Amino acid sequence: MPHNRFDWASRIKTAEQEYHAVRVAVDWVLGATPGEIHDVTEERGWDDLAVADISAADRNLDATYLIRMFSVFERAIFSYGRLLPGNDVRDVEGDVRLDEVGAACVILQDVIDEAQAVRVHRNNLVHRRIDDYHAMMTFADARAKVLTYHDELPEEWG
């Protein structure tokens, strides 16, 4: 099946739009009174949300959607990478794949390095290797780095 860069960009944008929708909801809950929270949760048949649950949702939101967005980006890169000579039969790690696709598409090394930084950050989040991940990379920064690399892919492949 042929792949289209704009379709992949749309998928990345969908992850971003979901992130913003959830951010608005979490921000509303953070500012809501206990009574408002009770009303909303009772309507859905849930127990009241604890302050710790709300704080955890707020704290983990960027990481959760950064991981989701990167998985969409990575899927696009892997779909292109499979077309490179010999890659249809070998399994390649994500860092190698980003480098190989970057070289094949003549992407600037700085752009490849920025995408690699997002990949490393995502891996650290997934494997809980860092505690203060907010300080390291925001969702917006990761998105910009991923899309800069993504924009260098051909319009279609496959």
Question: What is the predicted pLDDT for the residue at 71?
Answer: 96
Question: What is the predicted pLDDT for the residue at 1?
Answer: 62
CB neighbours of residue 114 within 10 Å: 18
CA distance 147 to 144: 5
What's the whole-number mean pLDDT along residues 2-6?
A: 91
Question: What is the predicted pLDDT for the residue at 103?
Answer: 96
What's the whole-number mean pLDDT along residues 94-98?
A: 90
Question: What is the predicted pLDDT for the residue at 76?
Answer: 95
What's the whole-number mean pLDDT along residues 8-18?
A: 95
65 with 22: CB under 8 angstroms? Answer: yes
Residue whose entry in the numeric block shows the structure tokens 């070998």: 90
Question: What is the predicted pLDDT for the residue at 129?
Answer: 77
CA distance 29 to 155: 41
Question: What is the predicted pLDDT for the residue at 132?
Answer: 57
Residues 112-144 pLDDT 10s: 999 999 999 999 888 877 665 555 788 999 999
CB neighbours of residue 72 within 10 Å: 19
What's the whole-number mean pLDDT along residues 80-93?
A: 82
**Confidence class for position 44, pLDDT limits 50, 70, 90:** confident
Domain boundaries, the chain: 3-157
- What predicted TM-score, i.e. pTM, was given to this entire model? 0.86
What's the whole-number mean pLDDT along residues 68-91?
A: 88
